[in-house]
Each structure stands twice: as C-alpha cells, then as structure tokens.
Structure 1
Amino acid sequence: MMQHYEMSDLGLLYHFLGMGVLQTDKHIFLHQKKYALKVIEKFGLKDCKSVVTPLVASERLCKEDGSEATNESEYRQIVGSLLYLTATRPDIMFASSLLARFMHNPTRKHMGTAKRVLRYIQGTLDYGIEFRTGKSATLIGYCDSDWAGSEDDRRSTSSYAFTLGSGMFSWASIKQNTVALSTAEAEYVSAAEATSQAKWLRFVLEDFGEEQVEGTPILCDNTSAIAMAKNPIFHQKTRHISRKFHFIREAIQAKEIELIYCKTEDHIADILTKASKDRFVYLRDLLGVKSAKGLEGSVDV
C-alpha cells in the first residue's frame, strides 16, 4: 500500500479500536477476545457455563411476553456491547439486532436472552474472522429475508452479506414495510438492499484499485424474487412496492450485479435472519467466523 499512499511503516498492527490483529505469512486474523472478556466480566458472567448457539431456535421474542420489567440501563449496555462485537463476530448479528428492538421497556425474558448470547460468546472467545493471502479480490453477495418474522408487527427481517476474497462483511436489519408483502416480495426487497450495498462497495473497491470488472454475483434462495428482478412484466404486478426497490433491474442491465439462485441449505445469509440450531455451526463456518486454534500453524489470541 505504500506504493499507492503516503504512509509511515510502524511495524505489524496488533490492536486497533478494541480489535486484536494476528498476522502471519498466510493470513490476517481479526478478533475481539479481550473486549469480550471485559464485557462478560462486567455483567457478572465470568466463568459461566457456555451454550452452543446464541438463541434458542424455537423461542420467539415480543414486546409483551408476560414477564416483569428489567433494568433498562443494563440491558442497553449489554446490547450495545454485543453490537460492537459484531465487527468481528457476524455470527451474533441476528441475535444482536433482534435484541436491539426491545431497548425500550425490556423484560426479564429479553435480559435472559441477552445474557444467553454472552454465554455463547464465553464458549467462543477465540473466534474471529480470517483473511487469507493469495485470494482474488472478487466481491460476492448473499441476501435473505425472514418473511413476517416479527411477532409484534409481522414485519420482515432482511439481511445481506458480502465476501471479498476470503473476508466477510455482513449486516442484518429490520425492514418496515408499509404494505403486506408476500414471501417473494420480501426476498425481492432484501435483494434490492443488497444491490444498493453492492454498488457502493464496487465504488469503494475501484478507489482502492480493485475494480470489479464483472457483475457482482448476489445469491438469493427465492426463484420468484429472481424472476421479478429480471422480467419487467412482473413490475406492473408489484407497483405497490416502493419504486426505489426496482432499480435492481437497472443494475442487472448495467451488468453491475447478477442475481443467482442458491439453495437455502447452503445460503450464508440464512444465519443472519433467523435462529437456527442444526445448521448454525455449518453456516457460521461459511460466514467466515473461525477459531484461532483451527488456523494453519495454530495461534493464540
């Protein structure tokens, strides 16, 4: 990078904004073990029993669950800490964004769920994101939607994730739909959000000298949503969807993106829209979240 930008060589980077950085000849590993330990200790869960998944797959959260109110200040601090941890732990992205919906008047059940996520972190302290050398800087996107997943207002949760070489960037957000959408339409909205992010990432990568010559593949597990994006005849039947989402077709025509079908079983973004049990570890590995102990050469964090 010194060939492209004016900078000083201060040696290898080890810490940055609460993140640990491990560098070898073959990879760069980002983690937040030290920060996670402080958070766990701060909220009285030091040496607690760990759990395998952040959330219970069969459990649904809602604003009024019949349990008593809890300490709102403490709850907000836990959720804020979890959101910061998602910088290197996208595997807790869905859990953190779900808990963030109940910042006002949280209940004891919400608090218990938040502390369960901390117990999951306790068992995966040395996990982080690995970036391998020698990988081509090809941008690939994944989009998914949990149709009407909110128990309170039946809104859908959309998410998208992007890989660049071997690195992963991911986000999950609640989408406020003003009209009732079908499953395919919810997936279409998710694909449109991913398209918007892909266009921005392509612009940033071009500035860094990594121009994406080919259209960015965005993988979707809903064939109807793909048909809506590619065939203009469907647009007359979906006029009730805000027109801002229909720019996805323009991006396809401009060869900026390419919407491709992906089986649900192998869809990375599925871990960002719903709690899972049987496939969680498998999807977490596809997401790029790994243990430092499993890296080649094995390193300590």
Structure 2
Amino acid sequence: MIKKHMEKEFKISDLGNLSFFLGMEILYTQHGVYVTQERYLKNLLTKFKMEDCRVAPTPLEVNHKLSRFGGEEFRDMKLYQSLVGSLIYATLTRPDLSYAVGVLSQFMHCPRKEHWIARQRVLRYIKGTLREGLYYGFTSDTRVKIYSDADWAGNVDDRRSTHGYLCYVGDKLISWCSKKQHIVALSSTEAEYKGMVEAAKEVIWLKTLMKVFDVIQNTPIICGDNMSSLYLAANPVFHARTKHIEIQYHFLREKVIDKEIEVMHTSTKDQLANMMTKSLDGPKLQRFKDMEGIKKIEKNLN
C-alpha cells in the first residue's frame, strides 16, 4: 500500500522541483550523476563577504581545541547563528563539512571570536572546493555497508565523544552523520560501540525502506576499526567492564546474533568515517574524499 501510494504521488518531474527547493544541482553524465550545491555555496561566500578569500586545505585545523570558555566574546550572535544554519544546509551534498559544522554548532548560544575565525576557515575551504559534490555511478550493487567510527573524549569542555557513520548502497554514499554523544563514554570501546548502535539504527531504517521498493537485500555490514567494540557486538557474554553500558545499546548484539546485521573490522587507514569524527590533514582528507565518491566536476564535462 505504501509503495502504491508513493508511486501515485511522486512523479519524475517532481525530482527537478525537489532539487531546486534543496538548492541542489544535478548533472547527468554518460556513466553517472553528480549532485552539487555550487550555486548555493557561491551565494554563501558572497553573503558573508568571503568570495575573494584565500583557500584552505581543510575545514578545521588539525587537533583544534575550540571551547565554550575563554577568549573574547563574539557580540553578533545572530550573525554567527545565521552562518552556522547556512553551513548545515550545505552538508546536504558535502559530508566533508559535517564534522566542522557540528563543532561550530555547539557554540550557537555563546560564540567566541575564535569560533568566528574557525568559521572563516570553513568558508575558505568551501572556496577551494566549490565544484565538488557527490558522484553516483550507474551500478546495480544494492548491498548496504556502513563505516562507523568514534573519537573518544574529543570534546575539551565535557569530554563527550563524537561518533559518525557513512552509509553506502553499493558504492553510493546515501546518508551520513556526525554527532556528539549524549553521555560521557568511559572507554574508547564504549564510544565506538555506541557509535555502531547509531549506525545499526540507520541500517534498520534503510532495510525497511528498501523492502518497500522491493530492492533485493543482503545482510548489511557495519565496518569498525576498534576490535573490542566489534567483539562486544558479536559476543553474548556479559563482560564486567561493560556492565555500566545501558541495556538499550545492546540491541546491536541481538541483531548480530540473529544475523540481521554483520560487523566487520576495517583498518584505521581505510576507515572512511574518520572524517566524520575528527579534523584530518589535507592529504588524508583528500584520500578519504576520493574513496567516498566526493568528486570535482570538470569544466569540460558534458
């Protein structure tokens, strides 16, 4: 019933209207589709008077220590909030901006001058990557795979961890997340495990959606680089060092035991979700972007 209703209500012509509403630009090529927001990003630079700025290799400095405390207060709070809101909109097609925007959004109620300076770096990075966007090649692979990662106690104010994931259908990146966890994790294993739980929730939702559209499904895979968290997800034994982890997080273990989800180890150098949990240096960021399908549209592309 849901599928018939969606087929009735949604028309192909609506795709153009939807992309226009979202500020997206869709370019069809012989082998795939590019989705960008170049026009929107140019307008963003103009709005905040950064159209002639120097470019930066990364959205944030590596090992930044942005904090709510210390430093001079930035007096124009509405201007800061307007910028961060605009940047959130830009992450619709730019997952490489997600971590930086997530960090800046934590200071909406108490911006400091150092946060405003950090915002300038994000815009400088955008200036150098205006023509970049997501590339979707024409392939038939429909297997779901998610890369999940967490940066343990990375926040300097409250020592909460940041988790993130990148969700693929085949080689197509379709959803992503970078978010600070709600409670303090007492170990890297706990932080990674909780991040995998959030990835599992995305998998379950996606499986339901694909079932509606009668898409053939295999067992989804969650890839992590922390062996302890992978072992915790797959092992039904209750470990003494994980007694404090809330019961709600252990539904992942149930899904793994029931073979609804698989967990798999991936090396840190191939952990694509790294860019969703921390600021990387230029070469590493570019390498992950290439692996994730974030590509630059060439001017002579037809």
TM-score (normalised: structure 1):
0.92
* Match status 1:93 vs 2:98: yes
Which runs of at least 4 in structure 1 moved beyond 4 Å after TM superposition? Answer: none
Cα pair distance change 1:235/1:244, threshold 3 Å? farther
Map Cα deviations across residues 49-82 of structure 1 (whole Å, 9 max, x no partner).
1111101103211101323324111111111111
* Match status 1:110 vs 2:112: no
Aligned residue type for 2:7: Y
What SS does the corresponding residue of 1:5 show, helix, strand or coil? helix
* Match status 1:298 vs 2:288: no
Q: Tell me by how many angstroms 1:9 deviates.
A: 5.2
* Match status 1:45 vs 2:45: no
* Match status 1:18 vs 2:20: no
Cα pair distance change 1:22/1:233, threshold 3 Å? same
Deviates most, 160-169 or 190-199: 160-169
* Match status 1:223 vs 2:227: yes
User: Which residue of structure 1 lines up, in the alignment, with residue 168 of structure 2?
Assistant: 163
Aligned residue type for 1:151: V
Match of 2:203 among 195, 198, 216: 198
Map Cα deviations across residues 244-285 of structure 1 (whole Å, 9 max, x no partner).
100011111222211100001110000000001041111122
User: Which residue of structure 1 lines up, in the alignment, with residue 127 of structure 2?
Assistant: 122
Map Cα deviations across residues 114-138 of structure 1 (whole Å, 9 max, x no partner).
1210110011000000111024122
What SS does the corresponding residue of 1:88 show, helix, strand or coil? coil
Cα pair distance change 1:236/1:207, threshold 3 Å? farther
Distance 1:134 1:275 in 2: 31
User: Which residue of structure 1 lines up, in the alignment, with residue 275 of structure 2?
Assistant: 271
* Match status 1:153 vs 2:158: yes
Q: For the Cα contact (< 8 Å) 2:135–2:294, is it kept in 1? A: yes
Deviates most, 284-293 or 184-193: 284-293
Q: For the Cα contact (< 8 Å) 1:70–1:111, is it kept in 2? A: no
Q: Tell me by how many angstroms 1:13 deviates.
A: 3.7
* Match status 1:174 vs 2:180: yes
Deviates most, 80-89 or 130-139: 130-139
Map Cα deviations across residues 211-236 of structure 1 (whole Å, 9 max, x no partner).
42x21011000000011111122455
Q: For the Cα contact (< 8 Å) 2:161–2:185, is it kept in 1? A: no
User: Which residue of structure 2 lines up, in the alignment, with residue 188 of structure 1?
Assistant: 193
Distance 1:12 1:94 in 2: 28
User: Which residue of structure 2 lines up, in the alignment, with residue 245 of structure 1?
Assistant: 249
Deviates most, 130-139 or 112-121: 130-139
* Match status 1:29 vs 2:34: yes
Unaligned runs of 5+ in 1: none
Unaligned runs of 5+ in 2: none
User: Which residue of structure 2 lines up, in the alignment, with residue 81 of structure 1?
Assistant: 86
User: Which residue of structure 1 lines up, in the alignment, with residue 266 of structure 2?
Assistant: 262
Map Cα deviations across residues 79-113 of structure 1 (whole Å, 9 max, x no partner).
11111111100001000001110001101110110
Q: Tell me by how many angstroms 1:24 deviates.
A: 2.4
Distance 2:27 2:36 in 1: 8
TM-score (normalised: structure 2):
0.91
Alignment identity in percent? 35
Distance 1:241 1:30 in 2: 40
Q: For the Cα contact (< 8 Å) 1:162–1:170, is it kept in 2? A: yes
Q: For the Cα contact (< 8 Å) 2:74–2:116, is it kept in 1? A: no
What SS does the corresponding residue of 2:251 show, helix, strand or coil? helix
Q: For the Cα contact (< 8 Å) 2:224–2:265, is it kept in 1? A: yes
Match of 2:213 among 198, 205, 208: 208
When the two chains are superposed, the root-mean-square deviation of aligned CA atoms in Å is 2.1
Map Cα deviations across residues 183-216 of structure 1 (whole Å, 9 max, x no partner).
111111111111111111111111112142x210
